[in-house]
Amino acid sequence: MRRADYVKKIALVTGGLGGIGQEICAQLGKAGYVVVSTFMRAGRDEAWTKHMKDLGIEAKAYQCDVSNFEDAQALVANIKKDFGTHVSVLVNNAGITKDGTLKKMTVEQWQDVINTNLNSVFNMSKAVVDDMVAAGHGRVINISSINGQKGQFGQTNYSAAKAGMHGFTMALAQEVAKKGVTVNTISPGYIATEMVMAVPEDIRNQIIAQIPVNRLGKPEEIGGLVTYLASDGAGFITGSNIAINGGQHMK
């Protein structure tokens, strides 16, 4: 076996400490990656780190504001220092909502969502892609949303950011395809995270009634798709936006 075969492969999942992100981390870890994630508020990493350890996954969380270019650069430098290798898989999953109709939306609501949901994709991709290109292999997977495809009342900021992610995906995919690096988008619909399950049951049932498969998605279904796109078997898929929404929006 070549020496290179012994080198650990690092998967970096931004915003991976809860909901869909945690399941993405778990499935990438089970697939053999060392999993790294980010968090903003001190102390949020403890439960996640224990959960990963209980699953037998080597993992580490770093405090980082991914909407800040310098923080993103420092994060990736620290990962390379701590693990002795570069990031092989980047999953841009960090995101927030600050909803409101355009009439009532403040500049701060607009900028905060664009910074966290879209500018972070540039910041993190910029920090890792050169190493992927140099290695001749890499995966960038951007987690968008059904609302980036069809829009959503009261979410001009969120819908714009999520739609912008796929424009970024298609452009970057063309730049790095010949270097063995793929770039793809996943657009989930309504997924049974703690946040969605906390919605009153009658409202949740109204949502489910709009989904042709008649159920919410499962976080592990998103994690499974991410893990496939990260695999060698997905090397012919790039610049794609894969909808995973139970048929709620077909395009």
Active-site amino acid positions = 158
Alpha carbons 40 and 70: distance in angstroms, whole number: 15
Beta bridge partners of residue 59, listed in sequence order: 35
CB 120 within 8 A of CB 66: yes
Rg (the chain; Cα; Å): 18
CB 85 within 8 A of CB 7: yes
CB 130 within 8 A of CB 173: no
Integer CA distances (angstroms), 140 to 29, 40, 143, in order: 16, 22, 10
How many CB atoms sit inside 10 A of residue 229's CB? Answer: 24
